[in-house]
Amino acid sequence: AQTVTQSQPEMSVQEAETVTLSCTYDTSENNYYLFWYKQPPSRQMILVIRQEAYKQQNATENRFSVNFQKAAKSFSLKISDSQLGDTAMYFCAFMKGYSGAGSYQLTFGKGTKLSVIP
Amino acid sequence: NAGVMQNPRHLVRRRGQEARLRCSPMKGHSHVYWYRQLPEEGLKFMVYLQKENIIDESGMPKERFSAEFPKEGPSILRIQQVVRGDSAAYFCASSPRAVSNPEQFFGPGTRLTVL
């Protein structure tokens, strides 16, 4: 079974600064996907960024980037130029690669509550 | 292009009543997933359905919970004889299930409160 650990229950960052959220995971799979989801106070789950395990290049989406360390099973999210609208819960999630039982199940960490301070 | 729709957004039930949660996937999506989020927790997988088929219900409690995705209409998650421990946010997600795109698109969730 896969597990996802987010060791920072809460974090805060000044507006316009950079913050990094940590995520580690445990799996015996070689082919998988990793995701970061954002859950603002509205509770809607919004995909922020995704990484395929077979890709060595770290994914980037505008102000959001990841540091994917496959050997260390680490998948951190960096938010640059933080904005007030980034205030939310952030969940790291794992999905097995496209084969076999459970390859469609997302396994989530417990989340990190990020507050952006004006 | 409407996203995943869930209703109701908020549902209050007394212990012993039934709760019915509905989910309409995004247009063109034939795969639906239900997740439950307990307070202070991440989302946990419950069930995966395709039209008229339950593919994987390994995350569903064995009793009182059932799910369906009929040929016509929304997917329904049904909880019979609700108890206080069922209070949670229930999220539905859908996907086109394309091999190249594992992304699941989430609805806004239904917050169930059991009194």
User: What is the percentage of chain B residues whose pLDDT exceeds 70?
Assistant: 95
A50 reaches B (C-beta below 8 A): yes
Question: Comparing A49-53, B2-6, B20-24, which segment has the lowest mean pLDDT?
Answer: B2-6
What mean pLDDT is predicted for residues B2-8?
A: 91
Q: What's the pLDDT score for residue A3?
A: 92
A46 vs B contacts (CB less than 8 Å): 106
A45 vs B contacts (CB less than 8 Å): 43, 91, 93, 106, 109
B31 reaches A (C-beta below 8 A): yes
Q: What's the pLDDT score for residue B70?
A: 93
pLDDT in tens, A56-95: 899 999 999 999 999 999 999 999 999 999 999 999 999 9
pLDDT mean across residues, chain A? 93
A105 vs B contacts (CB less than 8 Å): 33, 45, 48, 56, 59
Is A107 within 8 Å of B45 when comparing Cβ atoms? yes
What does the block give as tokens for A28?
A: 């015996």
Task: Please name the residue that has the structure tokens 């999210």.
Answer: A77
What does the block give as tokens for B6?
A: 């869930």
How many whole angstroms separate alpha carbon A77 and alpha carbon A96?
20
What does the block give as tokens for B111?
A: 């917050």
pLDDT in tens, B70-103: 999 999 999 999 999 999 999 999 998 655 678 8
What are the respective helix, strand and coil percentages of chain A, to the nearest 5? 5, 50, 45
pLDDT in tens, B6-32: 999 999 999 999 999 999 999 988 899
Residue in B with minimal Cα distance to A9: B40
Residue type, B42: G
What counts of helices (H) and strands (E) characterise chain B? 0, 11
Q: What's the pLDDT score for residue B99?
A: 57
Q: Which ranges constitute the DSSP H helices of A22-79?
A: none
Question: Comparing A5-14, B21-30, B99-108, which segment has the lowest mean pLDDT?
Answer: B99-108
Query: If pLDDT is split at 50, 70 and 90, which confidence band does A101 have?
Result: low
A35 vs B contacts (CB less than 8 Å): 103
Q: Is A77 helix (H, G, I), strand (E, B) or coil?
A: strand
Distances (CA, A) of A12 to A5, A84, B75, B82: 19, 11, 38, 38
B104 vs A contacts (CB less than 8 Å): 104, 106
Is B91 within 8 Å of A46 when comparing Cβ atoms? no
Q: What's the pLDDT score for residue A50?
A: 94
How many whole angstroms separate alpha carbon B49 and alpha carbon B57?
8
Residue in B with minimal Cα distance to A47: B105
Distance from the Cα of B27 to chain A's closest Cα (Å) equals 18
Nearest to A105 among B42, B45, B91 (CB): B45
Distance from the Cα of B85 to chain A's closest Cα (Å) equals 18
* φ, ψ for residue B30, nearest 5 deg: -115, 10
Is B106 within 8 Å of A45 when comparing Cβ atoms? yes
Query: If pLDDT is split at 50, 70 and 90, which confidence band does B40 have?
Result: confident
Q: What's the pLDDT score for residue A30?
A: 86
Q: What's the pLDDT score for residue B98?
A: 59
